[in-house]
Amino acid sequence: MAMMLNCREVAEQASQALDEPQGFMARLAMRFHLFMCVDCRRYVTHLGLVSQVTKRDDAIVEPAEADVERTLKALMARRDD
Ligand SMILES: [Zn+2]
């Protein structure tokens, strides 16, 4: 079922989401997985923060929940219109 992504699929979808809008079901499935899986939350947060910390690789810290939320919102907010 489409709702159940595995971690590899989430990683692929997360990197795609940075380049192109994801459909509603895809976003929902990813959100559902990220809700349960701390590893993927960490990975997605890292992806979302890369551009912000490009020149500050000494400042990488454990992602806070707020960062996760902000990254998810940025990913999910991407619409195709
Ligand atoms: Zn996962």
pLDDT digits (tens, 9 = 90+) for 1-45: 456 899 999 888 888 887 888 888 888 888 888 889 999 888 888
Residue 30 domain-assigned (yes or no): yes
Tell me, what amino acid is at 74? Answer: A
Residue 3 alpha carbon to ligand 1 centre in Å = 13
Residue 31 domain-assigned (yes or no): yes
Residue 58 alpha carbon to ligand 1 centre in Å = 26
Residue 47 domain-assigned (yes or no): yes
Residue 1 domain-assigned (yes or no): no
Residue 15 alpha carbon to ligand 1 centre in Å = 14
Distance separating alpha carbons of residues 48 and 69, to the nearest angstrom: 11
pLDDT single digits (tens) 59-78? 445 556 677 777 777 777 76
Residue 55 alpha carbon to ligand 1 centre in Å = 28
φ/ψ (deg, to 5) at 27 = -65, -40
pLDDT single digits (tens) 35-62? 899 998 888 888 775 544 444 444 445 5
Residue 50 alpha carbon to ligand 1 centre in Å = 19
Residue 3 confidence (pLDDT): 65
Distance separating alpha carbons of residues 74 and 68, to the nearest angstrom: 10
Residue 2 domain-assigned (yes or no): no
Provide the residue range defining the domain that includes 60: 7-77
The two tokens of residue 37 are 């899986």
Give the chain's domain count.
1
